[in-house]
Structure 1
Amino acid sequence: MLRVYGIKNCDTVKKSLKWLDNNGLSYEFIDVRQQPLQKETVTGWLKQLPAESLLNKRSTSWRNLSDEQKSVDNRDAIAALIAEQPTLFKRPLVETGQNIYCGFNEKLWSERYL
């Protein structure tokens, strides 16, 4: 079963969940505003994904960070920052049990999940 992390009012997350439903795929959705992320969870993501792939640097949340926060470059500090401000990661984030993917792309999702 897929585990999908996101925010329920995010348009990209809505589109991805609709795609999963339309394709009959089972998943567990975790709204990170209702179920706060644990730093350990994010640390696990960062073991599979580079920070550049995980961080959404186009988000308002990113733009509102201080220069000091934006300059963190170790896994532990980045994990703490994302756990504290979950809107900083690219959504949706999908755990397949073996792999982790960020973002929604219908063509790629068809190749991965169907």
Structure 2
Amino acid sequence: MMITYYAYPKCTTCRKAKKWLDQNGIAYNEINIAEAPPSQEQIREIYTKSGVELKKFFNTSGLKYRALGLKDKLKDMPEEEQLALLASDGMLIKRPLAWSGEKATLGFKEEEFENTWK
């Protein structure tokens, strides 16, 4: 199985996740999330198939998230607007984002990677 792995090279969590993928022989195509974020359609597909709440796709500890005041705005923001916002800036997306076409993980928790990608 080949996964698409959206990551930010300077992110320590992304580097830990990449190391785990390498150590476990998981094939992946790495994409710099800051330079080439997933499109609105791709995010919609990942969100729909993953079963994860849309608000969990946001990088809540990111500078841009805080600068835009999204903590208070998201609860009243329509889903399409949230999807467009995520697609507009990869730094708003929780990373790393790993996607197989059917399954997805957001962030890096070793146990979740074990259950999803092994």
AA aligned to 1:5 is Y
Q: What is the alpha-carbon root mean square deviation over aligned residues?
A: 2.1
Question: How far apart in 1 are the matches of 2:39 and 2:23?
Answer: 30
Tell me what 1:85 maps to.
Answer: 89
Counterparts of 1:33-112 in structure 2 under 5 Å? 33-47=34-48, 48=50, 49-66=52-69, 70-71=73-74, 73-112=77-116
Scaled by the length of structure 1, the TM-score of the pair is: 0.85
Question: How far apart in 2 are the matches of 1:95 and 1:62?
Answer: 23
Question: How far apart in 1 are the matches of 2:62 and 2:36?
Answer: 20
Consecutive unaligned residues of structure 2, counting only runs of 5 or more, are none
| 1:105–1:28 Cα change, 3 Å | same
Scaled by the length of structure 2, the TM-score of the pair is: 0.83
AA aligned to 1:109 is F
Percent sequence identity is: 27
Note the C-alpha offset of 1:113. 1.8
Q: 1:46, 1:79 within 8 Å by CA — same for their partners in 2?
A: no
Cα distance per residue 1:43-100 (max 9 Å; x no partner) = 2223233212211222211101046x93452221011111112111111111122112
Q: Secondary structure at the match of 2:26?
A: coil
Tell me what 1:21 maps to.
Answer: 22
Q: 1:54, 1:89 within 8 Å by CA — same for their partners in 2?
A: yes
Q: 1:5, 1:94 within 8 Å by CA — same for their partners in 2?
A: yes
Consecutive unaligned residues of structure 1, counting only runs of 5 or more, are none
